[in-house]
Chain A
Amino acid sequence: MKRFFLSALAMILLTGVASASEPEYFNVYKPSDGMTADEIMQIEYFVKYTKFARDVELNGTAYFVDKSGSTRERATSRQRITLGRKSDDLAYKDLNLFTSPAQVRGLATLGWTYMNPARQTDTWLWVPSLKKIRKISSANADDTFMGSDFTVDDIVTRKFEDETYILIGSENFKGYDCEYDKKVYFKDAPCFVIEAKPKKSPWYYSKRVLWVDKNTGGGVYEEMYGPDGKMFKTIFKDFRIFKVDGKDYATQVLLECKDLRSGHRTVIANSDIRYDQGLSEELFTEKALSRSRW
């Protein structure tokens, strides 16, 4: 009996230590030398989903470029409120709206993402051709994200708990030649190199190799490998620091994803980014979604 209580106490203490090491919402974290792969990746996810900010608004354009260079555009507006609320398990809520071209203008989605890593996102869709809201099932994680080269997993659903991590090393990044604006990004930037393997198997990728920028905590570049071990996709993210109330917010301003099999690539350029405007949670409701006029 005594052994049971000691074991239970040890479990509680260990759990306490584990949760204490998880980043807390609305704080700013940066990875540092000496951290484990798990600690670095917890920060990477924290930065990816802007959990440091109360809210964020991103206006930008997505470019779909095929092998021949033919380009299609989608202008989007995205708002997110971070909640980190244990009472109803809500991590954050997202509102995504297509603003152009005219054919897709008005198409909007509302997503509620939960803190429980095993739980899927609740999604509502405003369908202009129906002029009504439809509750929709979450797309599969390996589905394309809104027609881009990113998967739903890449942008929305992948969580820290979905993979295991190994710290391969620490190095200065070789730099990324961006096809969108022909610039070289993050040349010689000090990065951690992490290997991430999905717990789900079989899965559409066997591993990712990420370069996590020590300055921002953002995963600036990653290579994705298929079940056959061949690299099939690369993702680049340009992170910039936004000063908000004296805090450094690492922000994705440009993303470029290349499908090495098809030669197709997707660029998302966020041109207008605003943090902590005091967005009301009322903006992330079905009522707000139904305000769409298009």
Chain B
Amino acid sequence: MRKLIILLLVVPFTFLNSYAGAVENLSISGYLKNETALGMKSLNEVPKFKNIISLSGEYTFNDQFAMFASGRYWYDAAYSWRDKYDSAQTFMQHVQRTDWLRDCYLDYTSDKLDMRLGKQQVAWGQADGITILDRVNPFDLTEYWVQDMADIRIPLWMANVKYSPKLNSTLQFLVIPDFEQSTSAPPGSPYTFRSYTLYDSWKKGKNVVEDIQYPDKEFENSTFGVQWSDRVGDMDYTFNYLHGYYYSASTYTQVYNPYLNKYSFLREFKQWNMYGTSFNKTFTNPGPLEGITLRGDFAYYNREPVYYGTDGSSTGYHLWDNVFWLLGVDRYIATGWLASFQFAQYIMEDAKPGIPGKVTLNRYTYGPADQIENIFSFKLTKSFLHDRVKPEFFWTGTDDNQGRISPKVTYELKDNLWLTVGAHYFYGHVQDTNGQFRESSQVFMNLKYAF
């Protein structure tokens, strides 16, 4: 039966691929993937059994115009197997609304001018896995930050125009009339944020009304972005500016009626600005720094919502001006071993919210937040057996002794069949961003057939 199902899935796509080969200028590609995870605390627990099907197609009209679209549907059987996840079933069991459409855009390219119009994602900045300037698209954090960034970003409909006044210089304009909020896992999922779980628990037995105010669908509510990128000597740099609605709603108690024990919450999206710059430089000339790549991001967030309250409970938010910067170093340290180290600092406008008895809160956990958060990450990668085996070690943590260790090995079974095994191990205090998932550490196995 299983073989029949595999055949039924694979044959049509192999046929599609062949058909694409027969149609000039059309190219189709895709994959079938299974992602299975087992809880580290108890291997009987299966937090994920996700089956994904993805299909992408590109049609080239001529040298200048092309159309590209990709879709992805997934079904996570783990949510139908175990009662524990029932509360999250609706949201986590299958792809939501139109999220299946990942890309759908028309490309125009020429020497001076490029335009990409349609649903897409745009990645700014040099940081790897830490989103400092990478704030053009909202994020799907239903699986925290453990997925590839291309899967975490939520694509938006936008106009992306790049103009090059001279060689290696580009002025990019983004107009994003589309709006989506960042998403997170509902209570009952392996990666539900503590803040969400606490809020959900608190709500029980109370009369809570939530009023969510999305930005009106008007042009002036669009997100606008500008990036200037250029090269000085052998250093690349950018200047970035983004203005629009912050992708997470800010919540506060609008009305509390003690007689009815009724709470009215207002969740509203606030406009913010991001000013930033980034650079990268590889030392190519002989010397002690030869072979080192330095890269960095700096962002000034204007009017970023910051929650305050007491541990586990938010009572309001400020719109603060915060700074987030990062410096990264990459180098091959031995034959084929690429080491990558990053240090980042998130600096909030103030240490305290200025309200007696209240502290600023970590948005993921509602635990107390430091004014300055020092973040570190280290990645080590290498390929063996002619790129057939690719081990990777990744660690990220902060100065609060909390973090995540994610080793994995990818093995190419055949040209189109890849197996990945690995783990996500979380440690730290439950009030901290990674520590909140210390009971959700898991081992995983992904099997991917690409065509």
The distance from the CB of B132 to the nearest CB of chain A, in whole angstroms, is 13
A130-B123, A132-B149 as given contacts; A282 in contact with B164, CB under 8 Å = yes
Which B residues lie within 8 Å of A211 (CB)?
none
Query: CB < 8 Å: which of A118, A121, A137, A281 contacts B167?
Result: A281
Interface size on A, residues (CB 8 A): 46
A293 touches B68 (CB 8 A): yes
Scan A80-107; emit 1 where CB is below 8 A from any B CB, else 0.
Answer: 0000000000000000000001110100
B291 touches A291 (CB 8 A): no
CA of A212 to CA of B32 in the docked complex: distance in angstroms? 48
Interface-located stretch among A146-154, A187-195, A240-248, A267-275: A146-154
Which A residues lie within 8 Å of B281 (CB)?
135
Which B residues lie within 8 Å of A286 (CB)?
168, 170, 229, 236
Which B residues lie within 8 Å of A203 (CB)?
none
Cβ-based interface call for A280 (8 A):
yes
CA of A147 to CA of B148 in the docked complex: distance in angstroms? 23
B335 touches A101 (CB 8 A): no
* Chain B residue at smallest Cβ distance from A102: B450
A287 touches B150 (CB 8 A): no
Cβ-based interface call for A236 (8 A):
no
Cβ-based interface call for B200 (8 A):
no
Cβ-based interface call for A134 (8 A):
yes
Cβ-based interface call for B111 (8 A):
yes
Which A residues lie within 8 Å of B415 (CB)?
72-73, 101, 103
The distance from the CB of B38 to the nearest CB of chain A, in whole angstroms, is 23
A144-B383, A281-B167 as given contacts; A120 in contact with B282, CB under 8 Å = yes
The distance from the CB of B172 to the nearest CB of chain A, in whole angstroms, is 9
Cβ-based interface call for B290 (8 A):
yes
Which of A116, A137, A282, A294 is packed against the most chain B CB atoms within 10 Å? A137
B330 touches A137 (CB 8 A): yes
Which A residues lie within 8 Å of B383 (CB)?
144, 147
Which B residues lie within 8 Å of A101 (CB)?
415-416, 450
* Chain A residue at smallest Cβ distance from B137: A131
Query: CB < 8 Å: which of A72, A137, A280 contacts B293?
Result: A137
Interface residues of A in 16-58 (CB under 8 A from B): none
Cβ-based interface call for B258 (8 A):
no
Interface residues of B in 313-333 (CB under 8 A from A): 330-332
CA of A293 to CA of B150 in the docked complex: distance in angstroms? 12
Scan B95-135; emit 1 where CB is below 8 A from any A CB, else 0.
Answer: 00000000100010101101000000101001010000010
* Chain A residue at smallest Cβ distance from B386: A147
A142 touches B335 (CB 8 A): yes
* Chain A residue at smallest Cβ distance from B330: A137
CA of A66 to CA of B412 in the docked complex: distance in angstroms? 14
Which B residues lie within 8 Å of A291 (CB)?
107, 109, 114
* Chain A residue at smallest Cβ distance from B287: A118
Which B residues lie within 8 Å of A105 (CB)?
29, 450
CA of A264 to CA of B387 in the docked complex: distance in angstroms? 13
Which A residues lie within 8 Å of B68 (CB)?
293
Cβ-based interface call for B401 (8 A):
no
Cβ-based interface call for A253 (8 A):
no
CA of A137 to CA of B291 in the docked complex: distance in angstroms? 6
Cβ-based interface call for B338 (8 A):
yes
Scan A126-142; emit 1 where CB is below 8 A from any B CB, else 0.
Answer: 00111110111111101
Cβ-based interface call for B280 (8 A):
yes
Cβ-based interface call for B162 (8 A):
yes
A135-B126, A147-B387 as given contacts; A120 in contact with B284, CB under 8 Å = yes
B388 touches A72 (CB 8 A): yes
CA of A102 to CA of B229 in the docked complex: distance in angstroms? 31
Scan B216-241; emit 1 where CB is below 8 A from any A CB, else 0.
Answer: 00000000000001000010100000
* Chain B residue at smallest Cβ distance from A293: B68
Interface residues of B in 142-163 (CB under 8 A from A): 148-150, 153, 162
The distance from the CB of B116 to the nearest CB of chain A, in whole angstroms, is 8
Cβ-based interface call for A285 (8 A):
yes
B330 touches A120 (CB 8 A): no
Cβ-based interface call for A276 (8 A):
no
A287 touches B123 (CB 8 A): no
A144 touches B121 (CB 8 A): no
A123 touches B31 (CB 8 A): no
CA of A285 to CA of B387 in the docked complex: distance in angstroms? 27
The distance from the CB of B418 to the nearest CB of chain A, in whole angstroms, is 6
The distance from the CB of B386 to the nearest CB of chain A, in whole angstroms, is 4
Which A residues lie within 8 Å of B283 (CB)?
120
A135 touches B280 (CB 8 A): yes
Cβ-based interface call for A239 (8 A):
no
Which B residues lie within 8 Å of A148 (CB)?
386
CA of A138 to CA of B450 in the docked complex: distance in angstroms? 29
Which A residues lie within 8 Å of B286 (CB)?
118-119
Interface residues of B in 275-289 (CB under 8 A from A): 280-286
Cβ-based interface call for B180 (8 A):
no
A143 touches B387 (CB 8 A): no
* Chain A residue at smallest Cβ distance from B149: A130
Scan B1-44; emit 1 where CB is below 8 A from any A CB, else 0.
Answer: 00000000000000000000000000001110000000000000
The 10 closest A-B CB pairs, nearest first, are A147-B387, A102-B450, A132-B123, A135-B280, A120-B284, A129-B148, A282-B111, A131-B150, A103-B450, A293-B68
Given contacts A102-B450, A121-B284, A294-B29, 9 further A-B contacts (CB under 8 A): A102-B31, A103-B31, A118-B286, A129-B150, A130-B148, A140-B291, A144-B383, A285-B164, A293-B58
Interface residues, chain A, with chain B CB atoms under 8 Å away: 64, 66, 72-73, 101-103, 105, 114, 116, 118-123, 128-132, 134-140, 142-144, 146-149, 264, 266, 280-282, 285-287, 291, 293-294
26 A-B contacts (beta carbon < 8 Å): A66-B386, A72-B415, A101-B416, A101-B450, A103-B418, A103-B448, A119-B285, A120-B285, A120-B290, A128-B150, A130-B128, A132-B134, A134-B126, A137-B292, A138-B282, A139-B336, A147-B386, A280-B111, A281-B167, A285-B168, A287-B114, A287-B162, A287-B164, A291-B107, A293-B56, A293-B103
